[in-house]
Amino acid sequence: MPFAHQEPLALPVRAECDVRLERTCAAYRRSEDDRLCTGRWHQAVMRSLLTLKLLVFARRSRSR
């Protein structure tokens, strides 16, 4: 993850960004497939769930 506070800024290469994006999209698709909400409010419910998921996101620390 790129960040810089008195540290060099290290950005991932394009290929790594593409892989991360694909993994994220696949995870969200699987998550959506697990939901039972169908019909008129499906899209609104899915957007709300995604919003809540993003609000509570916390990166897992990696062992070094």
Burial of 45: CB neighbours in 10 Å, binned 0-12, 13-18, 19+: middle
> Per residue in 12-28, pLDDT tens?
899 999 999 899 888 87
pLDDT, tens digit (0-9, with 9 covering 90-100), for 1-59: 555 667 777 778 999 999 998 998 888 788 777 777 778 888 888 888 888 887 886 66
Query: What is the structure's pLDDT at 16?
Result: 92
DSSP state of 40: T
Count Cα atoms within 13 angstroms, Cβ side, for 33.
6
The distance in angstroms from the start CA to the end CA of the chain is 15
